[in-house]
Amino acid sequence: MASIQGFRGHAMVGARSTAAIRFQGSFLRVGIARIAFSSVETPLNKFGSLKSSSRMEPPQACNSTVALPLLSISEVTERLRAFHESGARNQEYMAMYSSIVGGVTTHPAAMVIPMDDHMVHRGHGIFDTAAIMDGHLYELDQHLDRFLRSASMAKIDPPFDRSTMRSILIETVSISKCTHGSLRYWLSAGPGDFQLTPSGCTGPAFYAVVIRVHSLPSPSGCKVVTSTIPMKPQQFSIMKSTNYLPNVLSKMEAEEKGAYVGIWLDEEGFVAEGPNMNVAFVSKQMALIMPNFDKILSGCTAKRVLALADRLMADGRLTGVRVGNVTVEEGKKAEEMMLIGSGVIVKPVLQWDDQFIGDGKEGPIAQALYDLIVEDMKSGPTTVRIPVSY
């Protein structure tokens, strides 16, 4: 297991009383300008943040002194371990690879990256994912190809060739012992400083995390709304970068309106995509339609759906498959609408804004496509399923 190195000290400070904060062991006193809220001493919780139940007085500017603990590497390690064991995380992290340490750790408390990594403070990084199903990586090669295209667009030269990165990812899953879950991996401009460009960085960094998932997402229906958050311009929307703030705000806006996600429209008003999934429709003529990929992220799951949809054409359930411009009116009048992506697989949309889609119920084509992808994940060809040796 890799050890945690390079930490100097850590504390999270909230509302500060005018009385001194006391610590067990060594401490560091730092003079800062703060706002005084009360004269009641505020205790630290076990992670260093402040808790206060006292009623706040009207704020007034003052100079105050905060006592911060100077932590040893062993104390930092222990606090990180306690943070993880507190249940603050709601996912199971089984293993992490880091090119910074040159190995894999299976302890979540050690799954850290340098704060001066440009992926952290500048968003200069890209990422991708692959599902783990029954001890196989699903569409790893397809996702890795997109990963490298994103790296080129982001002007980040990988520290390894494609074959080596592929081996690292498979071996990380093997070490994790995870047979059902998700593999996520990142390429960053690397650590080195807090400047704008990576000219002073030590070199690009490659990270991967294995997350255990106990069940597949449910194909239950949902409501979507038209997003008012501007979508990223084409140069960035076709790249899977770590700059997901527009995506996050779009999702939050939808949730505030009681919906699952927001749907983006492009600058011409055509249907684009969701915040982290593609969109598809079934027309009244029973044709499967997806928006063009030239202005949105090229979804690996969406492209696999297009390939597998031929089976529904063969048995007569679909009359055709088309990729092209989709108007909002055409989308809202569709027989079915669905979200497609590795995180949702195929999720039916029952309502878009105030308009019900079709009869407002989950449709047979969305369910059939969901079943086809799940079957493909479990028993598809070797081109989409990479076995992992545990």
The Cα–Cα gap between 167 and 232 comes to 33
How distant is the alpha carbon of residue 270 from its chain centre? 26
3-state DSSP helix/strand/coil % of the chain, to nearest 5? 25, 25, 50
The sign of the torsion formed by the CA atoms of 68, 73, 75, 80 equals: positive
Describe the strand order of the beta sheet including 103-105 as a list of residue ranges.
103-105, 92-98, 205-212, 181-188, 125-133, 136-138, 385-387
The Cα–Cα gap between 129 and 367 comes to 24
CA separation (Å) from 173 to 150, 200, 385? 23, 32, 14
How distant is the alpha carbon of residue 357 from its chain centre? 28
CB 132 within 8 A of CB 179: yes
Catalytic residues: 240
CB 385 within 8 A of CB 257: no
CA separation (Å) from 80 to 12, 47, 71, 74, 253? 13, 9, 12, 10, 32
